[in-house]
Each structure stands twice: as C-alpha cells, then as structure tokens.
Amino acid sequence: MNTEGKKGTTTLGIVCKEGVVMAAEKRATKGHMIAHKNTKKLFQIGDNLGMAIAGLVADGQLLNRYMSSEVELYQLKRHKEISVKAAATLLSNMLIGRRMMPYFVGLLLGGVDSEGGHIYGLDLAGGAISDDYVSEGSGSPFVYGVLEDHYHKDMTVEEGVDLAVLSLMVSSSRDSASGDGINVATITKEGYKELTEEDIEEKMSKIKEEKGLKYP
C-alpha cells in the first residue's frame, strides 16, 4: 500500500465449505520506505460482509466508509442483509463512476448469503470477478502459488485460516512491500469474526515449526 498508486500489499480471500476467510498483512509503504507497520487493510462492512484493500490508503479507507454506509442503508430499507453479489455490484458501480479520476485500489469483497460463501476481486476500473480464491497486491503472485497447490473446495473454515496465514507468510518472506503482521477474518452464517493476535501468532509459530518458514 503506498501513495504512488501501486498495490504494495497482499490481501486474499478463500471460499470454504461453511463460509469465507479473508486476510491481509499490515505493512504500508511509500515507494521503498516502510511508512507504517500496523495498517488496517481488512474491514467489516456488514454483518455478513468484509472488504480488503490494496493500493492507495486514502482511497481504500474512503470506499470502506461508503460501503459500510450503503450496506447499513440497504438493511434499514429492506429489512434483510444485502447479497454478496449485490454488494459487489454496488462497489463496482462506485469504481466505474470514477473512471476519469479512478480510485487507485484493488479490492476484495467477500461474505455469506443464502447461496453460500463468495469472494469477488474488483479492479480500479470496476471489473468484478467471483472465484474460489482471489488475491490482490504486489505479493499476490506468491499467494497464488500457495493457493494453487493447497486449496480444495471441501476446505473447512479452520483449514482456510491456516492456508491464509501460510500464504501471507510466504508472500511476506518474498515481497518487500508486505509484512509486519497479519489480520484474518472468518465470515459464516454466524457473522463476521476477526481472529485475535494471539490466535494468529499461535498459527504462525506452528507453521514456522512445521515448515521451517521464516517471517520478516
């Protein structure tokens, strides 16, 4: 994440049997300088929805506020939760509406509705694509390498959390714009829940021990 509009970040989303897992690391950069080491890139935008941002910090935070407000208004007007597809379409329309002065972001939107779990990747031009797993940012090539090898459709949420942590540890060990900790959230029929730092540290320690993986 940086002020030059480049996506110096790693975010990911995984669809599991009981819901979805979303994760992001915490480093923010300005060019080659590490600007912040505890940057929030993963947000709850509804009872059943989450969003992860890569790219320009201000644009990502603004879109988070817009989406949180729109999702709340939808629930107040219609007395039901917005579907993940409808939320992705709404976010896509926001991005399309700014083509002359685009938001310099790559976004992930995920959640659970009556049709199950869904993850969407959205680019700065408003393109929205749903898949079993999606990653954004400069560390995403390393994440895709891990996900391609380990992901399966019958994965439990707990397995998805372990895979998300492993993927971000790998990307942070190779991508200089990623690192300084991990945020992970699960979204199921019970709602949105972020893992504690203690839970994440425990999983990271287990991965380090089992795989001998170093984490910067």
CA nearest to 11, candidates 129, 113, 143, 209: 143
Q: What is the dihedral of CA 127, 176, 24, 120, to 10 degrees?
A: 20
Helix (H) or strand (E) segment spanning residue 13: strand 11-15
Q: Is 133 helix (H, G, I), strand (E, B) or coil?
A: strand
Which tokens go with 182? 């991990």
Active site (catalytic) residues: 9
> d(Cα 1, Cα 7) in Å, to the nearest integer?
5
> d(Cα 124, Cα 130) in Å, to the nearest integer?
16
> d(Cα 77, Cα 89) in Å, to the nearest integer?
18
